[in-house]
Amino acid sequence: MTWSRRQFRVLLAWLVLGTVMGMAAATLLLGHQVDRLELERRRLELELSNRAAQIEKLEESLEARRRQVVREVEVRVLDFSDARREVELEAAVHGLYRHAIGSDLSELDPSILRAVAHNRTVTLGETAYTLQVEFIWAVAGRLVVWVRTRPGPLPDRPQP
């Protein structure tokens, strides 16, 4: 079978017309699905951004609720005139409360914290001091202990 130029052009015209008609039909048939998928993509992006914001707020809330532990103990000595001895006294009281570092603030019992140092005698050199815990403050990772001192009896020392 031999094709003439005219027949070849007609065949090519029908082929191009069929391709154009097929593309037009596909556009009409699939256009609705493309629009639906585009709307679904936009809806999912919006939902994703809402969920990300919700997760961020929940993480902030969780961070605030996480257990707060004692990270620092601060001792304040009230009405003490000897600055050198005051530093030594602060160190001694700090040593009494060192065990509280790392403890959960919500689990600390204020009466036990007070009993640790209240009416305790601390000896600095040749002088003994009796501690009186005036106030204890535990918040935001800090345990602050206010103590007042009075001269106390020297503890009995064993005879050599």
Q: Between 2 and 137, where is the model more confident?
A: 137
pLDDT computed for residue 157 by the predictor: 55
pLDDT in tens, 10-57: 999 999 999 999 999 998 889 889 889 999 999 999 999 988 988 888
Where are the alpha helices (H) located in 66-75, listed in sequence order? none
Q: What is the dihedral sign for C-alpha 95, 98, 100, 101?
A: positive
Give the start-to-end residue ranges of the domains of the chain. Answer: 1-66, 72-151
Q: Label residue 9 by pLDDT band (50, 70, 90).
A: very high
Q: Please compute the mean of the pLDDT values over residues 98-105 and round it to a whole number.
A: 86
CA atoms within 13 A on the CB side of 94: 14
Q: Label residue 62 by pLDDT band (50, 70, 90).
A: confident
| CA dihedral of 116, 77, 110, 66, whole degrees rounded to 10 | -110
Residue 111 corresponds to which tokens in the numbers above? Answer: 């009466």
Helices 83-97 and 110-117 pack at an angle, to 10 degrees, of 130
